[in-house]
Structure 1
Amino acid sequence: MSLPQLRLSARIYSGFAVPLVFAVALAAFGSYGLLTIESSVERMSALSANTMRSLQISKELEVMRRTALQYKVDGNDAALSEGVAAAERAVGLLDAAAAATRSAERQALYGEIKTGIGVYEALRERLIAAGREIAVERSKLFAGGDALSAAAAKMVDAARGNDSLPLALALSDLEKNIQAVRVANWRFLATHDPKGPAVFKAAVAKTDETIELMQQSDLPLDVLTALDPVRLALSNYSAGFQLLVSALARGDALFTSEMAPKIEQLQARTAAAEASLQSDFAAARDLSEKTITSTESIQQIMAAVALALGVLMAWLIGRAIAGPIRRTTGVLMEIAQGNKDVEIPYVHRRDEVGDNARAAQAFKESLIRIERVEAEQREADARAAAERTATMQRLAGDFEGAVGAIVETVSTASTELEAAAGTLTRTAETTQSLSTAVAAASGQASANVQSVASATDEMTSSVQEISRQVQESSRIAAEAVRQAERTDSRITELSQAAQRIGDVVKLITAIAEQTNLLALNATIEAARAGEAGKGFAVVAQEVKALAAQTAKATGDIAVQINGMQAATQESVGAIKEIGGTIGRIADIASAIAAAVEQQGAATAEIARNVQQAARGTDEVARNIGDVEQGAGETGSASAQVLSAAQSLAGESARLKTEVARFVATVRAA
């Protein structure tokens, strides 16, 4: 089948099919490239995750090494727990890395690292045992140090009371040397200085030498007896130190020779796994980059080919379709301009162009038939128009006669209604003005009455407040009387206490005089004793001076107490006078309160009367307001009636005009 015999849809589909085939191929190749890239990216992601796990494993191994070292140094159980947790995390990371890897080499490395961690855990158990041994030896050493100090203290107690200078010097040297021994021990335990054992040994030797010299000296028997426990405690302390040093050396050897190398070996395995991961990551990245580059190149080539084929097919199909359509369009334009004799081309074609040509032929034939029918219709319309004009003239006359009378009647009635509504509106406005004036006057009167009522209420409140204040003053006055009575009682007690203090002062004065007399006798006896009594004479003189000062002070106190008693008596009298005055004030306040009560009752009665007047005025104002409201409503209603009447008049006039226009139109038609 040739191309002109194909339908337009088949041509268009074939034109689009070629680019679509290339587009599908392009999409398929792009999808393949994307899948390859996705696989590479997933591979890189898995490798990156395992790299992070390897770094974390290396970190956990370092934590295991650090915590073991810390436990070895100070026996820190918290560090031990941290190391155990780090080992567990490292094992978990190794399991996850082994499950995520596809490399047999790395799986073997992860297995070796996991096995090595198990070996390291066994070494840590040995380190824990060594640490416990060190703790036991340290406790024994501390107890030995305490025993050495206790033995030295007993020896010092045995020498107490002996004033021998050589003994004192020997004891001082011994205590200094024992202190040097203990300091050497503590310094070694704190710093683990390799020279520490030698320093400790030298201090022990010097202390032992001091004990040997003391035993060979001419010292008291009890001191020599106390030296033997000191020497024994020193020997035990030195032996305990050596045991602790040996335990520490074993712990150091375990960590340095076995645990630290094991960690280094595991770190090397971890580094090898990281290097393998980095190599595979680089290979996956290169593959991804190459796939992206090749996919982009092939897609660009295929897109260019598809574009060229699409343009070529579009040009060919457009050229095969546009010419017949333009020619058919020209024929239709001639038919539209009235040329019914033009020949329609392509009526024998079997595609869409032939369909359009046959449709144009049918259209031309239909136009010819329509023109013939329209001519017949115009003749019929002319006859019907003449008949319709006669009928309309007759109907217009009848309508004008019937409706004109009705419109005239409505117009007259609306004019009369408008006049009546105007009169009603003016009457309502006058009524509303009068009621407004009356309401204003009534409102003013009500306001005045309310002002009087408010003032009366305020006066009532003021009277009540005055009554309350007077009652409060009366209560305060009564309270003041009671306080004055209590103050009088307390001042009386104060006077009695002052009297008792005076008695005590008299007693102190008598004691001071007796002390002075005794001091005088002591001075006399000291003078008799001569040179041996000089010190006693000085003391007696000081006692005598102290007795004189005591007598003078008690005299001053007596004067002050006498003055206080006199002032107390005067205060008692003044307080009694104040109590009487306050009592009179209370009586006056009570009288004022009674008068204020009567004034309050009268004021309340006035307030009630004024309130009743105010309520009456308000009632009048409300009634006038109702009248004003009714007048307003009447005015509104009359205004609405007036507006309706005016509107009715206007509408009736407009109706008359419209009826005339309608009749004229009908007659003209």
Structure 2
Amino acid sequence: MTSRTTRNGEPRSPGLFDVFTNRRIGTKVAIGFVLVQVLMVVLAVLNYSSFEHVRQAFVALDQRVQVVGIVRDVDRGFTAFRRFVREYSLTGDEALISEAESRQNALRQSIAQGLKEIHDPSRLAKMREISQAFDAYTTSFADVFRMRRDQSKLIREVLDPTGQQARLKLEQLQAAITANDGGETTSLLVAEAVKQLLLLRLDVNKVLGRHDQAAADAAEKALADLKTAMSALKTAIGSSAGRKQIGEIEVDIKNYANAYQKASRVAHEIEVLVNGTMPKAATAIAGDAANIKQSGIADQQKIAKDTEALLGDTKSQILIITAGVLVVGMLLAWLIGRAISRPIVQMSGAMKELAGGNLNVEVVGSGRLDEIGLMACTVEVFKNNALEVIRLREEQEEAERRSAAQHKAEMQQLADEFEGAVGEIIQTVTSASTELEASAGTLTTTADRSQELATSVAAASEQASANVQSVASATEEMASSISEISRQVQTSARIAGEAVDQARKTNDRIGHLADAANRIGDVVELINTIAGQTNLLALNATIEAARAGDAGRGFAVVAQEVKALAEQTAKATGEISQQISGMQAATQDSVGAIREIGGTIERMSEIASTIASAVEEQGAATQEISRNVQQAAQGTQQVSSNICDVQRGATETGSASSQVLAAAQSLSRDSNRLKDEVTRFVETVRAA
């Protein structure tokens, strides 16, 4: 049949439910399981896609963190490298070169790593600008290094020896004038020249050592005064030997001045590089590094926000699809169970009525195209055969009444044969009906079990989905990284504490240095006082020698030397006093700076302790993530077990369907035999 009929016998068009109803039982069960499996596959694909997006987000986040770390290392390393460069440019200490070169090589490696790891075009362009600015900075540093060495060589080989030589020659000239009684005026001119030479050398050292503009002006003045004194001295000395000696001194002074001018120009070029060209490159590097760090941090925040939104959307989708799987599974279980169990129960009742002799019962499902429809058709044939048997039996009785007694024995024999054949067939049909009823019960039980298992699978899937959400934000590497960070933070706190102790010790030592400087100042003051008294004694001795006349001339010469020595001592002690005052001021500044450094290190130690506490909290969060992963694994195992039970239920359903089909086939064969026997019986009756 291709269509069903109504109770009035009118044909009815097949609907959507009829299309599903007319499918084989195995097909119905397969459709249900396939739909559930399709939804499970959709859920799995969604989970895989979401986790893949999360993995990609973590990879991108790790790349941004690595880029920010590289740029931070470049920024910090360049700050340290710049400090060594400035110290070398100011002090010329060769010991700083090796450390500066080490910092330079490390920076070059960090910049190369940044160029390799950075993929964003804008950040890559900034990193290339950093590389170019760093190359320009290192080139300038090489120029500073070369010029500083040339300057040191000029000072060591020309400036200092020439100045020392000029001073010695002036002192020798002064001694010769004093020995030859060249006159007080000439001696004073020589002393003035010595004084101006010493002032010139002192100011030159200040200019080259401190880059002091006031000292440069003072040096120019001292040089002019020295040249004036030498011109006056050349005029005052009449001897050719003295003029020759003064000419040699003037040559030395000229060489000294030329060397000073050259060294000053080199110092100016170094200052232009250090304070002009190199700071521009440093500013560019710092600005580009800050831009890259800010861009990387902004990307980190955006990735974290997008990942959080993705996880939220995935959670909602998983909940919706899981609910859909649950609803569809329950609906399919109800439809399949209803499509199988209800007609079987109705057919079992009809078969019981037929077995009880009620041949007016309606056999439902005869219009179906599945196994139940075949069973209904078979039962309908059985019913029609039973009705035909009754009709034939009535005709037989009527024929017996008409045939009289002569056919009684023959008809009785035929009736016995017919009763035996029909009884066997009826027994077979009854047995087949019993088997059909048992198979129908098995199918009903299997359908109920399939519904329970589908519900359990949906619940286990929901639990696995909920637990897997916690896995997205944690990895085993995070736990090891947090442990390493905690250890490094503790080490940083310990080093910061040691640095605080060292700063305190350094502060105490500089305090002792300040005390020693004060004591040196007292000693210098004492020397200055003694020089003043010596000067007074020399003045008194000169007066007494003048009073003594020729007898005191030799004593007057000695007194004049003592006076000159006292004046030089007073000048030297004055300069020493100025140096000590500068040293005391620098010492006080160092004390304040070291105290600030100690305070800063103490704050760094507190920050390190705070970071250590935060790292411990992250460790606890990592343990929570591990527990959630274990729960997710248990949920997954439950899903696997339930799916196995569903497969076994499907197998039982298939077996029951096979039994129903076999019973239906047996019932069909017996119905054919019944039809043959009835036909033979009718033919025999007709022949009689």
TM-score range, shorter chain: 0.3 to 0.5
Give me the TM-score of the superposition, normalised by structure 2.
0.42
Rg (Cα) greater in structure = 1
Give me the TM-score of the superposition, normalised by structure 1.
0.43
